[in-house]
Chain A
Amino acid sequence: MVNIVGVQIRNTRGSNSLSFGKQEETKRSECENKDILMYDEKRKHPITTNLKIQADKFVKAFTEYPQKGLKGSKNSNFYEFLTMGMVPYLTGSAMMIAVFNLASKFFDTPAAVNASKLGKKMGLGVLFYGIGKTLSKKMIEAPVNLKYGIDVNLPYKKAIHELPDGDNTDNLLTHEYHKAYESVDFPRWDLFYNNKSFGPDRNSYYEKVGKRMGINDEDLDHADQKVKPLIKEKVIKTKLFSTLSSYFWAATGVGVAMQKPWENFVVNPAKRIANYQNYKKIAEAAKQEGKNIAKYDNFAKDFGKRFINSCKEFVNNKNKSVKIAGRSLLGLAVGMTLLGNLSTLLDFNKSRGSDSQASSSLIDESKEKVVC
């Protein structure tokens, strides 16, 4: 049995377990009843694993969890509440786009054109906000993972043994996707012990991280005790700077979306097709006259060109004040990311030898202590 600290295990299917209601004929595997670190899965299939987790969360956030929450189920928990946070994030984004775009089709031509210009910018603003926020976090998290092997987003599949609720007394085992380091107060250290993905020893993971942190081999006798506080420190710093930088990058994203090149960007597929057909006619006519006209930009190329021009306008606006403001915002975002990289990757406190935090704690090893 894997030593899982802090997790109460109740096998609902095993012969020695306490079960509620009818027993299933087939036994579920032991794996389904315990929490599993998804290290190998993520390493082998990083994109699909992430997509799988997000899809699971997405579906449940819009279906199962609200249903349970609105019923007041005793099995609803904080994870479900947090996962449901996806709902206002996505519906809010859609609503924001709608507020600036939906009514414009009822306006007369000049007003509709103006509204559409703003609407496109706002719609793209929402998109770039999300992209900026997500990608910027990776700029701090990825180097930490590369250098130390600490993946702050490392997922684990948590087995949840629910209480019987109403008529449901059989299907009580469910899963949640958590991150091993989602809590800095209580990281799931236990999942790294005896984990064969990291090596044959109990402390393989901690030894590996310790070595990457530059701790001498002779100081790694109790690697977990030595390394855990250091990992925690890195995780906190990573979380801090990825959070701080992400909102400045998100703001920068919106800033880029507010530039002029987007104003006449055609998003409507029907209009794009019509434009392309017009282009083909013009190109044909030009060809017959022996003239060459510029190539038609497909959606991706058009988007890319406008994005580059918008970025240029953002940092190099003709108006000096706007240029300074744009560069300042970008500077804040870049600066925060660099500060995050420096803070997480450089070791300003080099005392990684025997004088670790564990040995310098408040507890005087020589004295007896009693917990009252």
Chain B
Amino acid sequence: MTNVLNSILANQPINKSVNQNANSAFVFTSEGKIKPMRDKGRLLPSRVFGSPIEYAKDLKKDIVSIGKAAKGKANDHELGRINDLAMKMGSLALASYLFVKNPLKLSKAMEFVGFGTFFASMSLWPKLAIQAPLKARTGVDIHQKYIDSQGRKKMLFQDPQYVLTDLYSREDLDKIGDKLGVNKNIPDRDNFIKQRAQKTALQGNTLWMMTAGFASPLMSALLCNRLEKPIGKAIEKFEMVSSERAMQNGNYRSLSDRFKEFVSLRRFDNYLVKNADKVMDDKAVSELASKLGGKANSALVQTAIKDELAALKTDVKIDELFIRNALKGKIDDSVFASLSEQQKSLLNKAINNKSFANIAEILSRAAGGSKKEQIKLSRELSQILGKAKMSAETPTLSQISNQIKALHANMLDFASGKRILDRYINARVGDQAGTYIANQWGRVGDKLIKALKFNGQELKAVSKGDIDIIIDKLTVLASNDAEYDKVIKQLMKLIGNYENTTDTNFVLNVQNKAKSVCTVASNDLKTNGFVKLAEKISSATKNGTVENVININTAERISGAQSSFYRLLQSLDVFRKANNGSLERQLASLLGEKGVTADQETLKRLVKACQDLVLNATTTDYVEKLKTAGFNLSEIEYKTVMKALFDSEADTTIAESLSRTIGADKVDDVMKGFNSYRKEFMNKVANWQNGMTTELSRRTVDGVTNAANAVERNNLAGKPIRTLIEDVAKQTYNSQKWLKIFGGAMVALTAVTLLAGLAIGRKGKTEKQVEKESKVNG
């Protein structure tokens, strides 16, 4: 007791006149006596989620506790709470590190989602799986909290040997007693109920300890798995909107951009100061070039920067003193003194003309020796002078620091503008996960996989490359008009959204911004004398400039995705036509036009070729006219297949099919784009007008040489539908497998916990005995 009392008294404030302190269990009377303070403990209402204000208040208290503990004054309760806070701080620090480390925005966001769901799971699992069912059945809230007289929040049933059940009101106890089925006539009913509540809480808390380790990671992982898609969509929308806003704001720079620029400028200034005496040789030029312009410093720009830096020279005065200094050790002063008047005059003339060869010749003659020796010395002197001039011309960093600073400032401005443009383009058609184009393609895949109705085994087979299942499923889909129309409708909606996002406005926005950013940078650089670099960023001819590259890359990304969408549309149409026999008829008719009457077997072979082609073919297959793809088609057969698929005049049935699903009013627009794609494909990829063995790129179409490069041809070919289905199937199969294992584990764990919960709070032997005796006693 002495210890307890001393411990409490030691924590009292020095001011003895204070009668009462909220944090003390004792108060001082006016006579200097001490007495216990009035009990102020009370139960706290139970909530699944606490209020943010309460969290903020608790956090403030915890921070104060850390301050107290740092002075060696905290108590057990405070240290316990500090542990919980420290765990969250550590986890937050880790999430922040992983946020920075992960390159993709979705992965970055998921680090914090993981952090949040883990702590949420730790808190929610016992509440949902144990506390709530037990409270509903027995009335006992095993996680009932109370606040003690010192304002400390604690769990009422945490320590089974020290439970403040006195905090329960009579009404609360009666409610619990009734739910627990305690006999109303039992003597000392209140105590009996308290004991039962205590036992129930102990059992519930033990069950919590036994299950939490399995539940928290499972629940957290499952929540993350479910949240990934909606968060990805939210990030995509945010990026689209905010990048557009940044474009509209002109020279808008975010706070982080400004900070980065500030740091970059300071760091660069430091670099200039530290390396002031550095001679700008090739190595130093390369090093400096890499430091200029941040992310706008592409390989294309960096070469131009290097050239500009290498061209920065200091003026060197070539006079007799320069010559004497340069040739020290080779030509003595006596040689200069021995020069005749005529020789001196010749030397001065050579110096004025900066002709090192003449200077060397005059001096080597004056030095004397055999003719051979004189020639040798002359050559040597000429080389020494050349090197000395070059060395004298090469500036130190400090000598060109003003130009460098101006260049750096221009490049930072350029980088800033380009960053806004890059973000705008990247959010829509960027070649990485999480962008609009990637997500839209993913959504198309999801819809398709859903429509094809693969079961688990089929998904596994498809993910391992079984093409027969894909063909079977596509055939089944094509045979069901309702299902087919539904898929086409969904796909057309997605394609429509994509086209709206990457329409002419988008392209124009990119072109205008690229023009303004590059022109401004180019003009600034020209003003500062960096003409070559300026021409690389923007020039009248446009070719090979940064501005040109931006526009070309954007156009290629748009066309690549568009072709993939059209290819998908075409693939489904080929299967539809193969199924209803129209493809076979079309092929027979096209062959008939060439005077060939095909038998059924040939037609079936050609139908199969069409199906395989839309499913699998890449540009290489067209170069070799499908020989590499395993088809042995004659020239007429090949051309017929190409015509059936890509000649808009030869195939009009797709328009009829589309008008049924998306409405006649919208068909024209779609067909315009689709036919344009087919025309481009015929001209640049299909290779249908040439002989069977010629390299595609060397051939001419309608008298025009095929200028399409490999990238353009690949973009036109689009992504094979087989690759799309296989990729999505793999993802779906893996995701389903993972979900089956861990979702199943979660369901099993929940079931076991709920069942185990049913055994909690039941009457034990002793309780039954007591109730029995009370009944007997009347």
Contact = CB atoms under 8 A, between A and B. Distances in A.
Interface string B1-43: 0111111011011101000000000000100111110000000
Interface string A229-266: 10011101101100110111011001100100000000
A14 interface: no
Nearest to B83: A243
A69 B79 contact: no
Contact of A232 (B72, B82, B93, B756): B72
Interface range for B: 35 or more
A362 B16 contact: yes
B76 interface: yes
A184 B75 contact: yes
Contacts of B329: none
B81 to A, nearest CB: 11
A364 to B, nearest CB: 7
B70 interface: yes
B257 to A, nearest CB: 14
Nearest to B211: A88
Contacts of B16: 362, 364
Interface in B197-243: 199-200, 202-203, 205-207, 209-210, 212-214, 216-218, 221
Contact of A367 (B32, B76, B82, B217): B32
Contacts of A153: none
Interface string A101-142: 011001110010001000000000000000000000000000
A316 to B, nearest CB: 13
B216 A88 contact: yes
A95 B215 CA distance: 9
A371 B213 contact: no
Contacts of A87: 209-210, 213
A343 interface: yes
A322 interface: yes
B178 to A, nearest CB: 20
A65 B6 CA distance: 35
B73 interface: yes
A237 B72 CA distance: 5
Contact of A72 (B7, B66, B200): B200
A199 interface: no
Given A91-B214, A92-B212, A186-B7, A251 B206 contact: no
B97 interface: yes
Interface in A34-90: 65-66, 69-74, 76-78, 81, 84-85, 87-90
B314 interface: no
Interface stretch (A22-30, A215-223, A300-308, A324-332): A324-332
Interface string A152-193: 000000000000001000000000000000011110010000
B202 A233 contact: no
Contacts of A234: 72
Contact of A106 (B5, B35, B36, B737): B737
What is the interface of chain A mostly: helix, strand, loop, or mixed? helix
A269 B93 CA distance: 34
B97 A236 contact: no
A69 B142 CA distance: 13
Contacts of B13: 362
Interface string B46-88: 0000000000000000000010011111111001001100110
5 contacts: A108-B730, A236-B69, A243-B86, A322-B101, A364-B16
Interface of B: 2-7, 9-10, 12-14, 16, 29, 32-36, 66, 69-76, 79, 82-83, 86-87, 89-91, 93-94, 96-98, 100-101, 158-162, 199-200, 202-203, 205-207, 209-210, 212-214, 216-218, 221, 463-464, 730, 734, 737-738, 741-742, 756, 764-765
- The 4 A-B pairs at the shortest CB distance, nearest first, are namely A247-B90, A69-B206, A91-B213, A233-B72
